[in-house]
A and B are shown apart, each in its own frame.
Chain A
């Protein structure tokens, strides 16, 4: 039985790998009654050779699918080997990997076979079995199958820590072109349902403490980058909508890896847009942790992210009138906006300045990226000389004094235009 299961694992892990989510945090599920596992801060147990975290056993239940979405490797018309796990096989793999400290839990997705409910029901059955029969308290992330009934989604939420449905294509027009059998409304509906149920559960819990957990680690979604000619503006505004409207925990961005000769898509051999993906993640962080609004970074006049420099620096250079920021006086919000200062450094600055007036050498030791920050701050014993310089000049200074890890990738991408 060893070689058969090995073959299934290779097919169904390979097909699941384009789902980039790997988070296993945010749930805080305790190990109850001396069972197996718990969840906490989330641990990456290893990293693949492409540098991505491996935290969960991320597999498809099956790669048989009735849909034919152009961007998907498991699309109906694609000539690939098909396989399907049994419920027991998934349970055994999860438990045995978990006991050896390989993983934080299970991330189970699936191609859609027969119909949405039939597929969803199988996913739920696995989660239920892990929780109820094996007293498994590790992390479970289930995919919400578009079109599944509310009842099944509700049940899934009782066992899973996270549910997600991947929008994949942020625009309706793009979705129509590449996944004509899916419709935008059918994807949004379950997101709404889960978001509302999470809110409702929180309310109920205030009154009745024993209200069972429902998707304690929240929902996430994913968008493919560079498959449907979408702009950064569209992507980031969609992301902000998800964060605000549906209280999503994460939006993931997945640079499209060409897997098809379909004329609607970039041809095989086209480079994965890694720099753009990175800039989108940086922007996402600015929305979630730095108090930025999407339209401060991307708007009708600036619909695309700058690939040479990070979006915060880019914003600062467009808003030179807000600088220099005095690190000994400015508010936390403003300190966060200094290029080169991260959330941790900003908090350190606030803590340390209670003891003494901070000088340049203090900031250096705190781990601030001074090569960027020095153009935007003032502090004790340091007068900002660059304040009236033109933004273009500062950008040039910064770029000529740093070497981006993306230089190679960036230049080969720029050649395309």
Chain B
């Protein structure tokens, strides 16, 4: 049987449209690639198929998944997508196929290999999402915007945008992912994705330079506080590092 290599545009809606096409055209999928990143030479046995991202198709697949495993099961698959892990599309496809052919909601079958793999990824992505809620450190800039730089392992900004919007409803803020070179910006009303031109350097130094005059004081006070609440007699650096892994220290002003 002929095998198909599917190429899509790298978006979540693209993945959903791809799942639609797999059902519509009965593809026998061997590989899924993002168009821009596809480079490997192809075997003669495989045919390359291009998936067009389509609102109607993706909406229908969304509906199907939700009907089968609920909103929660659907969001879990979205988390897997945001993990950017290699092979995530195939895992999402296989798991969706399993969900859709099972009569009872199957997203809680912890004895199923793919479901368990999904849960594992969801756990790491959720942990990263939670850590971003915790470790974002805003710095007040001269122009009144609270700016934070992050460098998360997974693409979690879409998952924290509502949290920050609800919490900091009366201040303008930007959370910028330096790894993926985009940020989310709340203008006091709406959150939108932003990118900065390649000419503008966004790093800790440029942010500090643009800082408001009160910024240094509060950063210092926070440091003071962090050191004062520590109980030396109970020192436990192993536990400390377990909770605040070193890769996050770069943007934590108390460290």
* Chain A residues close to B by CB (< 8 Å): 2, 5-6, 9-10, 13-14, 16-18, 30-31, 34-38, 43-54, 57-58, 93, 96-97, 99-102, 135, 255, 257-258, 272, 274, 348-349, 351-352, 354-356, 358, 362, 365-366
Contact = CB atoms under 8 A, between A and B. Distances in A.
B140 to A, nearest CB: 7
Given A35-B169, A50-B231, A272-B234, A57 B140 contact: no
B240 interface: yes
A352 B110 contact: yes
Contacts of A57: 225
Given A17-B229, A48-B240, A351-B108, A100 B222 contact: yes
A257 B167 contact: no
Contact of A34 (B108, B170, B218, B236): B170
B230 interface: yes
Contacts of B254: 46
Given A50-B230, A51-B240, A365-B116, A351 B217 contact: no
Interface string B197-234: 00000000000000000100110111011111111111
Nearest to A138: B167
A10 B234 contact: no
Interface residues on B, range: 35 or more
A52 B244 CA distance: 11
B137 interface: yes
Contacts of B246: none
B45 interface: no
Given A9-B225, A16-B229, A50 B171 contact: no
B27 interface: no
Given A49-B235, A351-B110, A99 B228 contact: no
A102 B222 contact: yes
A49 B237 contact: yes
Interface stretch (B1-9, B51-59, B128-136): B128-136
A362 B110 contact: yes
B220 A355 contact: no
A352 B171 CA distance: 45
A363 to B, nearest CB: 9
7 contacts: A9-B224, A10-B227, A31-B169, A43-B133, A51-B239, A53-B243, A99-B168
B233 A257 contact: yes
Contacts of B169: 31, 34-36
Contacts of A49: 230, 235-237, 240
Contacts of A6: 220-221, 224
A349 B111 CA distance: 9
B111 A14 contact: no
Contacts of A358: 111
Given A35-B170, A100-B137, A101-B136, 9 more contacts: A31-B167, A38-B167, A43-B133, A44-B243, A45-B134, A46-B244, A51-B234, A354-B104, A365-B110
A253 B166 CA distance: 34
B48 interface: no
Contact of B231 (A17, A43, A101, A366): A17
B252 interface: yes
Contact of B166 (A38, A102, A362): A38
B224 A58 contact: no
B50 interface: no
Contact of A51 (B111, B134, B222, B236): B236
Contacts of B82: none
A351 B109 contact: yes
A100 B167 contact: no
B234 A43 contact: no
Contacts of B227: 10
A118 to B, nearest CB: 26
A348 B254 CA distance: 38
A142 B233 CA distance: 26
In order of increasing CB-CB distance, the 4 nearest A-B pairs are A51-B239, A13-B228, A50-B234, A351-B108
Residue of A10, A36, A102, A366 with most partner-chain B CB within 10 A: A102
A135 B243 CA distance: 32
B231 A257 contact: yes
Contact of A43 (B134, B148, B232): B134
Interface in B57-114: 104, 106, 108-112
Nearest to B139: A100
A216 B228 CA distance: 29
Contacts of B12: none
A349 B236 CA distance: 34
Contacts of B167: 31, 37-38
B174 to A, nearest CB: 13
A93 B222 CA distance: 9
Contacts of A38: 166-167
A352 B166 contact: no
Contacts of B243: 44, 47, 51, 53
B50 to A, nearest CB: 37
A352 B234 contact: no
Contact of B233 (A37, A43, A272): A272
Contacts of A272: 233-234
Residue of B116, B167, B222, B226 with most partner-chain A CB within 10 A: B167
A43 B130 contact: yes
Given A35-B170, A49-B240, A50-B240, A100 B218 contact: yes
B229 A54 contact: yes
B146 interface: yes
A194 B167 CA distance: 29
B136 A96 contact: no
A362 B110 CA distance: 8
Given A36-B170, A351-B110, A352-B109, A48 B139 contact: no
